[in-house]
Amino acid sequence: MRADRLVATLLLMQARGRVTAAEVAAELEVSVATARRDLEALSTAGIPVYPQQGRGGGWSLVGGARTDLSGLTAAEAQALFLLVGPAAAVAPEVKAALRKLVRALPDTFRADAEAAADAVVLDPARWGERAVPRSPVVELLQGAVVRRRRVRFSYAARNRERAERTVEPWGLVDKDEIWYLVAGTERGQRTFRVDRMDGVEVTAGTFERPVDFDLSSVWERVVSEVEQRRSLVSATVLVAARFVFVLQDQYGRHCEVLDTVGDGRVRVRLAAPTPLMIAQPLAGWGAMVEVEDSPGVRAELARLGAELVARYAEAGSGPTS
């Protein structure tokens, strides 16, 4: 896991003072290209890592070799924990490593490092939506989460109506490249899509996050509630095995592989809030898919097919060259 490598790379540099990408690759059993990307990621995140060119060059920590993390500044420690913290939600060994790293930090900014480690959660499961470009305000929101600063922004709801909001940013979630902010509001906990936020401003107002707040647990409940709303209708579909990944991309976690039938096709279960929302993506597959059950979905496919025939039948019967 990348978080493991980032921590290991930093500790290796602290022990040796200067390393090359090839040395890191050999020590961590990864490719030189991967080692170089990890070193660049540490540098980009604000960790005091810099390259030196020429003979005897390599990558060094500003200030020379260190045997622990006590030489990091508050900003550098936050940058490191923002990088590796998200992986702790899915890897117990990373969480254990972070606890050890926190204990090695000076008391003066240990709390900020702990906040950074818990600022972001990774959720790799897609909801069937295309990833969106990373918003430039993600880093701004990360800082607000760590420093416990309220943020003000304009937010576009699903109905596209905009409203001005001032919230307490409790944590961020990266759900397969779609970012969400979990925040406290006057009406309780709310979740906001970051790509729908405009004019984000970090205010001077501070807050205290609820002492029992755990971002990973909260996000699990949010996902569970959304899944219940989005999975009201299901249909069992047969498709050639080589195309299963396409359905998985279209429907995200709402595509469940069940088994393989005698002719080599794969049986999958698709789910959505309405029969039409299942049928619309399937309509483009034509006879390549077969819906075994769900009369509602079959009826919607028949209706969509009739509409397409009515509109394009004449075009299909025209002269060909």
Per residue in 208-239, pLDDT (tens digit) is 888 888 888 888 888 877 777 666 788 999 99
Which of 162, 196, 224 is a domain's end point? 224
Burial (CB < 10 A; 0-12, 13-18, 19+), residue 67, is: exposed
Q: Are 140 and 173 contained in the same domain?
A: yes
| Intra-chain end-to-end CA distance of the chain, in Å | 56
> Which residue matches tokens 């647990």?
217
Distance CA 299, CA 225 (A): 28
Q: Which domain holds residue 153?
A: 122-224
The three-state secondary structure class of 278 is helix
Domain count, the chain: 3
Tell me the pairing of strands 162-175 and 120-123: parallel
Which of 159, 191, 224 is a domain's end point? 224
Work out the angle at residue 317's Cα, subtended by the Cα atoms of residues 316 and 318, and round it to the nearest 5 degrees: 95
Q: What is the full DSSP assignment across 283-313?
A: HTTGGGEEE-S-HHHHHHHHHHHHHHHHHHH
For the chain, list residues with pLDDT below 70.
1-4, 7, 11, 14-15, 44-48, 53-56, 61-118, 122, 124-132, 229-231, 315-321
Distance CA 80, CA 99 (A): 13
**pLDDT value of residue 166:** 95
Contact 150, 206 (CB under 8 A): yes
In-domain check, residue 265: yes
In-domain check, residue 250: yes
We report the CATH number of the domain holding residue 254 as 3.30.70
Q: Are 147 and 62 contained in the same domain?
A: no
| Tokens matching residue 60 | 């060094």
In-domain check, residue 116: no
Contact 247, 235 (CB under 8 A): no
In-domain check, residue 112: no
C-alpha distances (whole Å) from 87 to each of 83, 120, 190, 231 are 9, 9, 23, 28
Per residue in 68-118, pLDDT tens? 455 555 555 555 555 555 544 544 555 555 555 555 555 544 555 555 556
Distance CA 146, CA 229 (A): 32
**pLDDT value of residue 25:** 86
We report the CATH number of the domain holding residue 42 as 1.10.10.10
Contact 262, 298 (CB under 8 A): no
- Phi, psi (5° rounding) for residue 76? -70, -40
Q: Are 204 and 127 contained in the same domain?
A: yes
In-domain check, residue 273: yes
In-domain check, residue 46: yes
In-domain check, residue 114: no
**pLDDT value of residue 1:** 45
Q: Are 66 and 141 contained in the same domain?
A: no
Q: What is the pTM of this model?
A: 0.50
